[in-house]
Amino acid sequence: MSRLYFITGTDTDIGKTVATCQLLRAFAALGLRAVAMKPVASGCEWRDGGLWNGDVAAHAAAGNVAAPLALTNPYRFQPAISPHLAAREAGVGIDLEHLAACARQLGEMGDVVLVEGAGGWYAPLGEDSTMADLALRLGAPVLLVVGMRLGCLNHARLSAEAIQRSGLPLAGWLANRIDPQMARYADNLATLRHSLCAPLLAEIPHSSAAERDSLAAGAVLTLRP
């Protein structure tokens, strides 16, 4: 039986894709079939007659399951705007049940499926749906990526509390050092370890090659199916 995780973050551009790619490589290093899904991607570009997304390409390079794009990235939009606005402009409704069906099919192909959300926990997908609603539809434990920079304490605690109120388990969090000059990094990390009711799975150092790196396999042993 495959294991599914929903990956959210404290904000946009805090390294969810970096964390997802490093998690994929860590699971693969344990001998597991690891695949990722980007349910909705905006900011795509045209390549070879179709819409291409860098996050989705990075997932494919990091995982070890050859899955069709229709499953790994069901909705793709060109404007680099919130997915619900991009979908509205395209005249498309984002169907949560369709996304759940795609995730189930990926679960038949891999041992671990990582579903990377867009934006934060409450990023909208439509007039009446958010990323949180998708996570609930999937029934997936949640992994929270915390972008370590000034303000992250508030963002992380609010996100963790919202996840826990949803009834979904917060399986763990990752500290991504997006600001290498962050003052009192160790102190902020200690505050989060004390205040978040979930284990710190790993710290991700700041690196220009972070998307191509891997977490130590031991970082995901507690998440192993």
Residues identified as active-site: 38
Distance, CA of 222 to CA of 215 (rounded, Å):
13
The pair of structure tokens assigned to 50 is 């179709």
| β-strand partners of 38 | none
Task: Name which of 60, 16, 7 is nearest 34 in CA terms.
Answer: 60
Q: How many CB atoms lie within 10 A of CB 88?
A: 16
Q: How many CB atoms lie within 10 A of CB 9?
A: 30
Distance, CA of 57 to CA of 111 (rounded, Å):
20
The C-alpha angle 1, 25, 98, rounded to 5 degrees, equals: 50
Phi, then psi, of 16 in degrees rounded to 5: -65, -40
The C-alpha angle 166, 32, 137, rounded to 5 degrees, equals: 20
Residue that has been written with the tokens 């710190």 in this structure = 200
